[in-house]
A and B are shown apart, each in its own frame.
Chain A
Amino acid sequence: QKEVEQNSGPLSVPEGAIASLNCTYSDRGSQSFFWYRQYSGKSPELIMFIYSNGDKEDGRFTAQLNKASQYVSLLIRDSQPSDSATYLCAVNTNAGKSTFGDGTTLTVKP
């Protein structure tokens, strides 16, 4: 079992729809959780992080964390073609290192 698992996709949604990206992790000691966006050929850029159970909203993005289920998700509302990218879930242990999932490729169709 991978430490951080994501559906590879591709996930395709129409413009304006909600995109839902999911991530599960195996280490119950994980402390913090991150979502990064990576465009083809570029390095990752941070979208948001979440530490506590529940929802965290930032603009069109909402991260949801459920530590009991070891599950973290990212919702993108009003998806735009510019949101088309690979989304990486990363999980930190208390050692401070990040373990990344393989990423989910999202395509937003105009």
Chain B
Amino acid sequence: GAVVSQHPSRVICKSGTSVKIECRSLDFQATTMFWYRQFPKQSLMLMATSNEGSKATYEQGVEKDKFLINHASLTLSTLTVTSAHPEDSSFYICSANWQGQETQYFGPGTRLLVL
């Protein structure tokens, strides 16, 4: 149980375009979803926390207008990287849990390469 999927698993795009990444909880209702970014050889950095039906809470230094997060249902959250640039190239990972659950269940990640 507690399976989280992400789509796409890998995306290559041109600089200036926008990219949408989906995160789905397959067998539970995710009241909270987390978005992380991981650069090579570095740890996971939390970008934002999203609760279903409300605005995401962004971590300090993360531009909310550049990284748009929508958590429209209890099984789906999306992260849109707007006007992507090469420095946005990274491994984006979502995780999810439900109310009262401390453990986060991670998706398989999306590798973004901006040319």
Contact = CB atoms under 8 A, between A and B. Distances in A.
Nearest to B45: A100
B49 interface: yes
Given A88-B43, A103-B43, A97 B49 contact: yes
Interface residues of A, number: 21
Given A42-B109, A43-B108, A92 B102 contact: yes
B4 to A, nearest CB: 9
Contacts of B109: 42-43
A70 B89 CA distance: 35
Interface of B: 32, 34, 42-44, 46, 49, 93, 102-109
8 contacts: A32-B102, A42-B109, A88-B43, A92-B102, A96-B102, A98-B104, A99-B46, A102-B42
